[in-house]
């Protein structure tokens, strides 16, 4: 994967590790589409936050957003399925040093108009979100 393509609002496949699975599993059991959140440059490899995309409607208490059809198409996802991005939990990984990223190009990318307001809301709520670190 060309790591320069891993940018905010891009959609890639990743073995996302759900918070509910983190105690029992070390790795995500299913490669799924995820939204790339914030990329933070570091000398030992950029840290990147990943948000899961799911077909399962989240509980009303969760911080999630259903995707409109146009955004699903932009992201390279099935526009006929109901899909949500979950923002109250995330995986954090290191680009270039990750055992979880595969050398594949992004599926697509969300528009700034759709994704950035959600990312701003995540930042304001970050302290209540669950972080799952994917690096030692």
* pLDDT averaged per 10 residues in sequence order, the chain, 136 residues: 84 92 68 93 91 97 98 98 98 88 87 98 95 87
The whole-model pTM stands at 0.92
Q: What is the pLDDT of residue 88?
A: 97
CA distances to 11, 43, 46, 102 from 85, in Å: 11, 30, 22, 21
Is residue 121 helix, strand or coil?
Answer: helix
pLDDT confidence of residue 27: 59
Residue 5 has what pLDDT?
85
In this structure, the chain runs to a length of: 136
């Amino acid at each position: 994967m060309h790591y320069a393509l891993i940018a905010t609002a891009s959609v890639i496949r990743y073995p996302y590790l759900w918070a509910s699975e983190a105690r029992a599993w070390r790795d995500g059991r299913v490669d799924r589409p995820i939204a790339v959140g914030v990329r933070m440059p570091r000398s030992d490899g950029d840290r990147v936050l990943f948000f899961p995309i799911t077909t399962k409607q989240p509980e009303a208490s969760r911080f999630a957003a259903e995707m409109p059809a146009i955004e699903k198409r932009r992201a390279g996802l099935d526009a006929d399925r109901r899909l949500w991005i979950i923002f109250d939990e995330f995986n954090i990984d290191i680009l270039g040093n990750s055992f979880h990223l595969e050398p594949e190009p992004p599926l697509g990318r969300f528009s700034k108009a759709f994704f950035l307001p959600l990312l701003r809301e995540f930042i304001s709520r970050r302290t209540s979100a669950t972080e799952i670190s994917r690096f030692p």
